[in-house]
């Protein structure tokens, strides 16, 4: 049986690499107490309160048995995705590199299912279950224990060879595969991600207040807290700053394959005044196939308004005024009001005053009042 599991591990590694994995390692599937405790502490602090994670989630995410009863090993897979950022003209938003090509959930599922099917076939039985992002499993902790890399102060897993721009995926199996050794590395005295984070989300002790992270803020479906809006800068979706400044990630370079190159400049660097007009037809055509497609068009329009408010370019006032006047979603009208308040030019003030007399939604009324203060 040992010879058989050795050859199954080698098969899984070879197949995953052939399908785009940059590294593949195995960890035993025992419950990860350290990760459970760290998650609990994080949830108690409220770091993930926008996600509704709780104690039950921490217990489940630390225990691979919840994914597959009888689990004995996890094949942890890292797929590099960094490719070159396209040029961004003024008034164009910035999109995190994980979201500017085909949705990674779909790709990772394809890769993981194909490798898992090969493992099942070699074992002569169904011995696997796959996970990527959406299932309760502490992906970074298991990846680190498997030896794919170490968890950095920006809280992402850093592979010594690939950097941190890697997606993680797991094949949980009932087979007892030979585990790999963890990487003995840490960030040492480096603090570049902490200094670089525009919102102060990173504490420096390998924890994050995710409610301050731009990646979280730009995918909220409720209004972004007012005090955080200016800190978002030109990010339309996600944020890469803490990784772009990270030395091992810089040294790794752009190792994403052609498949991760942006669909087009409009997806990776959208013109914000156009994004402000985004309706469901164009949304489905352009964004639904990416990882920024899951929160809907109004969230992207809201983010465009915030980006324009931060650009402080008065040429955007007509577009913002039109949004304030006629966007069907109060959250977007509210963000447009905020952006116009940032401009504070006579034209922007006029638009706010005009809308104040006819706006019926109390949340937008409140945004207009705050913008006029």
**Structure-token match 């399908």, residue found:** 19
* Neighbouring C-alpha atoms within 13 Å toward the C-beta of 106: 13
CB nearer to ligand B12: give 177 or 239: 239
**Structure-token match 């209004």, residue found:** 223
Which residue stretch of 9-17, 234-242, 259-267, 310-318 sits at the interface with ligand B12 (rule: CB under 6 A)?
A: 234-242
Q: Which of 133, 180, 240, 313 is catalytic?
A: 133
Q: Enumerate residues 103-162 that contact ligand B12 by CB under 6 A.
A: 132-133, 137-141, 151, 154-157
SS3 label, residue 136:
coil
Inter-residue contact 172 to 189 (CB < 8 Å): no
In the stretch 221-240, what mask flags binding to ligand SF4 with x, by CB under 6 A? Answer: ------------------x-
Query: How many residues make contact with ligand B12 (CB under 6 A)?
Result: 36
Which residue stretch of 87-95, 166-174, 250-258, 329-337 sits at the interface with ligand B12 (rule: CB under 6 A)?
A: 166-174
User: Which residues, in sequence order, are CB contacts of 89 under 8 Å at separation 6+?
Assistant: 269, 271
Q: Report the residue from 23, 63, 103, 240 that binds ligand B12 according to the rule CB under 6 A.
A: 240
Q: Is 37 a catalytic residue?
A: no
Residue 132 partner contact from ligand B12, ligand SF4, none using kind-dependent CB cut-offs of 5 to 8 Å: ligand B12
What is the distance between the alpha carbons of residues 276 and 193, in angstroms, rounded to a whole number? Answer: 31
Inter-residue contact 224 to 212 (CB < 8 Å): no
**Structure-token match 């003995």, residue found:** 184
Inter-residue contact 216 to 239 (CB < 8 Å): no
Q: Which two tokens stand for residue 328?
A: 């069907």
Residue ranges binding ligand SF4 (CB under 6 A)? 152-154, 187, 190-193, 197, 199, 201-202, 208, 213-215, 239, 241-242, 245-248
* Residues lying near ligand B12 in the complex (CB under 6 A): 34-35, 38-39, 42, 48, 51, 96, 98, 132-133, 137-141, 151, 154-157, 164, 166-168, 206-208, 210, 213, 215-216, 238-240, 242
């Amino acid at each position: 049986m040992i010879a058989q599991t050795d050859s199954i591990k080698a098969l899984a590694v070879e197949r995953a690499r052939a399908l785009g994995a940059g590294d593949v390692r195995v960890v035993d599937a025992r419950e990860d107490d350290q990760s459970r405790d760290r998650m609990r502490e994080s949830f108690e602090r409220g770091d993930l309160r926008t996600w509704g994670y709780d104690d039950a989630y921490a217990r489940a995410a630390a225990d691979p048995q919840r994914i597959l009863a009888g689990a004995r090993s996890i094949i942890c897979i890292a797929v590099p995705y960094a490719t070159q950022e396209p040029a961004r003209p003024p008034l164009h938003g910035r999109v995190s590199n994980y979201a500017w090509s085909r949705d990674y959930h779909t790709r990772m599922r394809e890769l993981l299912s194909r490798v898992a099917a090969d493992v099942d076939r070699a074992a002569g039985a169904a011995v696997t279950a796959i996970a990527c992002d959406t299932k309760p499993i502490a992906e970074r902790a298991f990846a680190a224990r498997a030896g794919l890399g170490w968890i950095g102060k920006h809280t992402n897993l850093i592979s010594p060879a690939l950097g941190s721009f890697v997606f993680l995926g797991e094949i949980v199996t009932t087979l007892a595969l030979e585990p790999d050794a963890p990487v003995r590395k840490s960030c040492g005295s480096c603090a570049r991600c902490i200094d670089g984070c525009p919102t102060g989300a990173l504490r420096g002790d390998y924890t994050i207040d995710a409610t301050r992270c731009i990646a979280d803020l730009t995918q909220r479906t409720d209004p972004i807290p007012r005090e955080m809006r200016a800190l978002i800068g030109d990010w339309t979706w996600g944020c890469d700053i803490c990784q772009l400044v990270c030395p091992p990630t810089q040294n790794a370079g752009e190792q994403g394959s052609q498949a991760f190159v942006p669909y087009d400049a409009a997806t990776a660097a959208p013109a914000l005044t156009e994004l402000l007009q985004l309706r469901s037809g164009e949304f489905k055509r352009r964004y639904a196939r990416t990882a920024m497609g899951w929160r809907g068009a109004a969230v992207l329009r809201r983010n465009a308004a915030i980006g324009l408010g931060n650009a402080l370019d008065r040429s955007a006032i007509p577009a913002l005024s039109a949004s304030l006047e006629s966007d069907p979603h109060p959250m977007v009208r509210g963000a447009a009001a905020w952006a116009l308040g940032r401009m504070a030019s006579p034209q922007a003030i006029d638009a706010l005053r005009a809308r104040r007399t006819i706006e019926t939604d109390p949340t937008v009324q409140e945004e207009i009042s705050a913008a006029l203060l």
